[in-house]
Amino acid sequence: MTNQPKHVVSKKWLLARLYEPDLVVVDCRFQLGKPASGQETYAESHIPRAVYVDLERDLSAPISEHGGRHPLPDVETLAERLGRAGISRESRVVAYDDQGGAMASRLWWVLRYLGHEQVYVMEEGYSAWVRDGYPTTADQPVVVPTAYEAAPRPDMLVGVERVREVALHGGAVLIDSRDPERYRGEVEPLDRKAGHIPGAINRVWSAGRREDGTWKSPEEQRARFADLPQDGEIIVYCGSGVTATPNVLALQEAGFANVKLYGGSWSDWISYSKNPIATGDE
């Protein structure tokens, strides 16, 4: 197994390629509860040539009875929005945020789900880019819309039916990516019910990074998940399908191939009144 990251690039790597024509840099900054903040901070300053993609307007569908707080749009809608941002299947895409990689990883996952190979997350985030004196601008690039030709990978995504089956009968590893207090049901700041899906284990998503904000190496990620079966099915969820995606990325870096996202996550699970809820540690 390689110890070189496949899905994460350094600031230095991006700086060296910043003006290569096939590269699309995407600013994904977003704060839950402050939906305008990402667009506002992008307008103030961003990495040169970066376009802005919004978690809720671009990477989520409208909220309905089921599907969670950030439902995934259908493939055609995602493709149209990506094409509007100037992203084609031939683009090399680097996503960044200032939220520990959570928002950038959502775009990374969406593109991988649509069949995109060359998509990466910049480690550390925008504040580290600024801190190290790398170039910034308030100028917004001229975006030439293109057609994004999606080749979706449905095996990367599961719905509530499969998760319900696993919760009741096993057959896969369920990973809850939220903070331990939310997993145990001690607090719930965002959703109307507290707890976790029965049988799920807790692996908080932020543990995929070191204290300095850099991503852990593939070897370190393998150590995080050393107790999991390398070839078994792994289903990852969080509150709404966003902070689960850094764990999906980390698992892929660690060499796990059969990793799936429960797109609706906890906020979808609790929208079904008959779904069981567990509290405490498993």
**pLDDT one-digit tens code per residue, 214-257:** 999 999 999 999 999 999 999 999 999 999 999 999 999 999 99
Judge whether 222 and 255 are in contact, CB under 8 Å: yes
Judge whether 137 and 46 are in contact, CB under 8 Å: yes
User: DSSP letter string over 163-198?
Assistant: HHHHHHH-SSEEEE-S-HHHHTTS--SSSSS-SB-T
Nearest Cα to Cα of residue 136 among 220, 223, 261, 14: 14
Instruction: Please determine, for residue 17, whether its predicted confidence score (pLDDT) is greater than 90.
Output: yes
pLDDT in tens, 48-101: 999 999 999 999 999 999 999 999 999 999 999 999 999 999 999 999 999 999
**Is the four-CA dihedral 202, 197, 121, 46 of positive or negative sign?**
negative
Q: Which residue has the tokens 């080749």?
A: 151
Residue 238 is a catalytic residue: yes
Active-site entry in 25, 119, 238, 270: 238
Give the global pTM.
0.97
pLDDT attached to residue 172: 98
